[in-house]
Structure 1
Amino acid sequence: MALNVNILYRETIKPSSPTPYEHTTYKLSLLDQLCPPMYAPVVLFYSEPGKEFNKNVDDHLKTSLSKALSHFYPFAGRFKDSFTIDCNDRGAGYTRAQVDKDLSSVLNQQDANSLQQLLPCNPHDRSADLCNRVILAVQVNIFTCGGVAIGICIWHSVADASVLVSFVRTWAAVARGGSIDSDGVVVDCTSFSSQDLGGFSTGQYSDRDVLPNLVTKRFFFEASKITALREKIGSVGPSADRPTRVESLSALIWSAAIAIAQEKHESLQDLRKRMNPPLSEQCIGFINQLAVSQWPLSMNSSEYSGLAGTLSQSLRIIKGEYLRKLHADGSYLERIKHAGDEQAMKYIGGVITISSWCRFPLYETDFGWGKPTWLGTAMGLNNLVIFIDSKDGEGIEALVTLSKEDMAKFERNPGIVKYATFFSAHILTSKV
C-alpha cells in the first residue's frame, strides 16, 4: 500500500548543551566497523494525542530531542573518518510530514513495505559522503485521524537495537518531563578495539541483500501457538532442552526457509550481557555477533527439534570466555574475511538471518500522550527476519523480508499456516 506523505519541512536539532571537550572524539570499535553501512530504523505508532497537544507537538518533541542529544552526544556529530566520530554538535535531522490516510490503514495491513515512507531517510541510501551524513534523523508523521507515527533512523555502526531503544526511551522520558541520569549514559566500549580493515568492505553484503523486488510482511504468533510449538519441540528430548520462544519460532521459520532452498541460519546476538563482566546497557555501538547454524539440504528439516537444538548449541557458546579468546589475538577480522568463502564451498544455497528485538521495552515509549499502539521496523534486507514482542508481551510478531517469489512460497508453508496469523487483528485500533 502506497502512502502519500507530504514533507512540510526539515531542520536540524542541536544538543541543548555543548559536548565537553574531553568527549569530542568517539572511536569506533572493530564490531562497529564491521557493521554494514546502513541506518537502523524503527517506527512508533500512536493513537490521537489530542488536538490541543497536536498544535505544540513539534516544539515539544524538538526541545526534548535537543536535551536527549546532549547525553548521547555522538548522535549529533559527524564521521571524521571510518574510525572516528567528531562529536561537534552539528545536530540530528528532524522532519515534519503529513500523511493522507488514517493510522488504521497502515496498522491493518500485513504488507509492511509502506513503513519506509514514514522514515526520514532510506536506510540504505549512501548518496551522501560519510562525513556529511547525519548519524540520527527523526520524522514525525501526522495522519488525517490525528494519529502520529515517529520514524527514527540511526547509523547502525553507532547504535544497534539495544542502543536505539535506550535513546528513544530517554528522549520520551525527557518529553514527559523526567530527568536523565547523567552518569554512564554513554560508555566507550574498548573491548573490541578498532583495526585497519585493509580494504575490506562490508558494503558488498548490504548491496547483495538490497534487491528491487523485496517485500516485507508481518506474521503474528499468538502466545498459545508459541506454547504449542515449544511443547511439540520439547517433547522430543529432555525437558531441560525445551527451547525458548525465540528458538522455537526461529526453528519454524528456518524450516520454512529450507523448504525454499535455504539451509544456513544466522542469529544476531547482543554481546552486552554475554561478556564477563557484562557491558553497560548504555554502551553505544554495534555490539553484536552472529551465531551461525547450518543444516544441509540433504537432511530432513520438517522435525523442528533438530533445528532448534542446532540453534541452541550455536547460541550457548557465545559467552565471555569464548568472546575473550575470539578477540584476544586480533585475528577476528581475518576470520570474518575468510568465513564467507569457506562456507560457500561447503554449502549450497543462501542464508536467513534472524534478529530478535524481544524483551526490548519499546512499547513503554511514552512521549506524554500514551504508549505505542504498534511499532515496526523497515530494514529492507533480503532473507531477514526480525522478532518483536506484541504489545501485551505474550505473543511475537515476525517481520519477514523475502523476494516476492520466495514470500509466496513462505506463506504457503504448512508450519507457517498452522502457527501464524496473517491478519494483525491483535492490534487494537478502535481509538484510531
Structure 2
Amino acid sequence: MEVQIISKEILKPSSSTPQHRSTYKLSVLDQLAPPLYIPIILFYSPHCENFCKKSDRLKESFSRTLTHFYPFAGRVKDDFSIDCNDDGAAFIEARVSGYMSMVIEQADINEHQQLLPCSPYAKISKLSTDQVTLAVQVNYFNCGGMAISICIWHAVADGSALATFVKSWAAITRDPNNVLDEVIYDCTTLFPPQDLSSFSLHNFVKEEVLSEIVTKRFLFDGSKVAALRDEVGNGPSLVRPTRFIAVSSLILSAMMTVTRENEAGQQISAATIAVDLRRRLKPPVPEQSIGNIFQVAIANWPESESNALNYNSLAGKLDESIRKMNDEYIRKFHAGGGYFNFIKRASFSSWCKFPFYEADFGWGKPIRLSPALQLNRVAIFLDTADGEGIEAWISLSKEDMVMFEQHPGIFTHASFSPSI
C-alpha cells in the first residue's frame, strides 16, 4: 500500500466564534487525559460520486461542523483552557494504491496508521499553541473505496465526543440544513481544574516501547459472544454479563496467564475500565457533549488471589467496579482528589455503542472501523457492523502476543490472524 498526499490545507469554521465563547475551559478530566490524539478510521464502500464533488462537499460541511465544535478549531492556550480563535483544523486528502478490502482484512496497525493525518503519539506532553487540535485525512483508494480518518487531541475530546463530531459532520454533509444539538457543556463546575504541574504523563507513551508492541484485531462474532456470555455467567459472582464484561473477562484472564508465565514474579492485580459518565451524573450531562466526561474505574484484587480467579469471578470484579460509578461516588472521588495509581494492570476502553457506524456522509454507512491506536496492555473494543459482535484491538509485547493467541479461551472464541 502506498499513500500519496494530494492536498493539505487548514479549514476554518464557516462562521466566526462569538467573542463571549473565545475561551473553552478545561476540566480536571481534560487535564488528566493522556497526551495523545485519539484516532478513528471509517472505511466506506465504493460510490459513484466523483472525486471533486465528494471533496468539495466534505470540505464545506467540515467548516460548517466546526462552527458548532469551535474548540476543535482552536489552539491550546495553557493547562487550563483552549483559545477558540478559529485558527482552523487540518484537512488532508490522499490517493492510496491497492485494494481497500485487503487493508481491512489484514488489519495491519502500521498500514492503518499510514491513513491517519498525524501520528497519535505526541512527542511532547502537551500541544504547542501552533498545533491543531483536530486533523482529518480523506483517503481515496484506487479501487473506489474511501477511508476517512480523524485525529482529535485527547484534552478536548474522549471517544464519545469524537463519535459525536463524526456523526454530526456526516449529517451536515448529507443535509447542510441539518440542525445540531448544543455540544458545548461547561464541566468545570463538576470537575474543577487543578494545578497538576507535579502530576506528569510525559512517559505515558514511549516511542522506544511502541516498537516492541504488537497490536492485533480479535473478532468475536455475535454467536461466539452469546456463547461466551453464557459461559462467563455460569457462577456465583455474576449471572448475566454484558457483551463487554464477558469479552473483557476472557481477555483479562488470558493476559494474566501470559504475564505469570512470561514475567517471573509479576502478576496483573488490577484492570482499569474507561466509564462514560454522561448518563451516570445527576442531572445527566447531554450525551453529545464534547470534552472528557469519563472516569477510570479500577477493579483490583490481591496478587495472592490471581491464580484462583476464573472468568466468572473476574466478571464480577469488573462489573462491581463499573456499577459503583454513580453520581455520589464520582463527586466524592473528585472532592478527595483521588486520581489513580499506575499499578500493574490491564486496561479496557469500550467504544461499543458509540455512533461511528451511523456516520453516513451520503454514500452509505461505514463497513468497518479501526482505532489505529497502539498502547501496551490496552484493549479497545468496537462493535461489529451488525451490532452483535465485538472487535477487540489488543496491544501486547511481541512475546506476550504469541502466548496470548495460544490461550484456549482466545483460540476458541475469537477469529484472528496468528503470528508467524
Greater shift in the superposed pair: 248-257 or 264-273: 264-273
Question: Is the 8 Å Cα contact of residues 299 and 321 (structure 2) preserved in structure 1?
Answer: yes
Q: 2:352 is aligned with what amino acid?
A: C
Question: Is the 8 Å Cα contact of residues 257 and 263 (structure 1) preserved in structure 2?
Answer: no
Q: For residues 242 and 209 of structure 1, what CA distance do their matches in structure 2 show?
A: 41
Question: Is the 8 Å Cα contact of residues 266 and 351 (structure 1) preserved in structure 2?
Answer: yes
Q: For residues 209 and 148 of structure 2, what CA distance do their matches in structure 1 show?
A: 24
Q: For residues 362 and 178 of structure 1, what CA distance do their matches in structure 2 show?
A: 20
Question: Is the 8 Å Cα contact of residues 247 and 312 (structure 1) preserved in structure 2?
Answer: yes
For 1:274, the equivalent position in structure 2 comes to 280
1:182-233 CA distances to partner (integer Å, 9 max, x unpaired)? 5522222221011111332222223389521222111111111111111112
1:363 deviates by 0.9
For 1:361, the equivalent position in structure 2 comes to 355
1:313 deviates by 1.0
Length-normalised TM-score, structure 2: 0.92
For 1:132, the equivalent position in structure 2 comes to 130
For 1:428, the equivalent position in structure 2 comes to none
Q: For residues 226 and 95 of structure 1, what CA distance do their matches in structure 2 show?
A: 38
For 1:306, the equivalent position in structure 2 comes to 313
Alignment of 1:276-425 (within 5 A): 276-298=282-304, 299-300=306-307, 303-328=310-335, 331-332=336-337, 335-336=338-339, 339-340=341-342, 344=343, 350-422=344-416
Alignment of 1:226-237 (within 5 A): 226-237=225-236
Unaligned ranges ≥5, structure 2: 260-267
1:385-420 CA distances to partner (integer Å, 9 max, x unpaired)? 011110011111101111211111111111100110
Q: 2:193 is aligned with what amino acid?
A: S
Matched, 1:75 2:72: yes
Greater shift in the superposed pair: 128-137 or 309-318: 128-137
Length-normalised TM-score, structure 1: 0.90
Unaligned ranges ≥5, structure 1: 345-349, 425-432
1:99-141 CA distances to partner (integer Å, 9 max, x unpaired)? 1111011111143332111000000033695211100000011
1:59-78 CA distances to partner (integer Å, 9 max, x unpaired)? 11000000000000000000
1:397–1:301 Cα change, 3 Å? farther
Matched, 1:118 2:115: yes
1:145–1:8 Cα change, 3 Å? same
Identity across matched positions, percent: 49
1:183–1:129 Cα change, 3 Å? closer
Greater shift in the superposed pair: 93-102 or 240-249: 240-249
Matched, 1:61 2:58: yes
Greater shift in the superposed pair: 12-21 or 208-217: 208-217
- The counterpart of 1:252, out of the listed 243, 246, 250, is 250
- The counterpart of 1:146, out of the listed 144, 147, 153, is 144
Question: Is the 8 Å Cα contact of residues 219 and 399 (structure 1) preserved in structure 2?
Answer: yes
1:236 deviates by 1.5
- The counterpart of 1:88, out of the listed 70, 85, 90, is 85
Q: For residues 291 and 129 of structure 1, what CA distance do their matches in structure 2 show?
A: 27
* CA RMSD after TM alignment: 1.9
1:230-250 CA distances to partner (integer Å, 9 max, x unpaired)? 111222128x73211100111
Matched, 1:107 2:107: no
1:73–1:301 Cα change, 3 Å? farther
Matched, 1:203 2:202: yes
Question: Is the 8 Å Cα contact of residues 278 and 287 (structure 2) preserved in structure 1?
Answer: yes
- The counterpart of 2:34, out of the listed 28, 33, 36, is 36
Q: 1:117 is aligned with what amino acid?
A: Q
Q: For residues 352 and 201 of structure 1, what CA distance do their matches in structure 2 show?
A: 20
Q: For residues 152 and 231 of structure 2, what CA distance do their matches in structure 1 show?
A: 39
For 1:155, the equivalent position in structure 2 comes to 153
Q: For residues 365 and 231 of structure 2, what CA distance do their matches in structure 1 show?
A: 35
Q: For residues 267 and 182 of structure 1, what CA distance do their matches in structure 2 show?
A: 30
1:3-61 CA distances to partner (integer Å, 9 max, x unpaired)? 321111210010000001111100100010011110000000011122x4323221110
For 1:179, the equivalent position in structure 2 comes to 177
Q: For residues 130 and 272 of structure 2, what CA distance do their matches in structure 1 show?
A: 32
Secondary structure of 2:307's aligned partner: coil
Secondary structure of 1:139's aligned partner: strand
Q: For residues 405 and 57 of structure 1, what CA distance do their matches in structure 2 show?
A: 44
1:6–1:208 Cα change, 3 Å? closer
Secondary structure of 2:168's aligned partner: helix
Question: Is the 8 Å Cα contact of residues 164 and 355 (structure 2) preserved in structure 1?
Answer: no
1:310–1:16 Cα change, 3 Å? same
- Count of residues in Structure 1 that have an aligned counterpart in Structure 2: 407
Q: For residues 339 and 352 of structure 2, what CA distance do their matches in structure 1 show?
A: 27
For 2:17, the equivalent position in structure 1 comes to 19
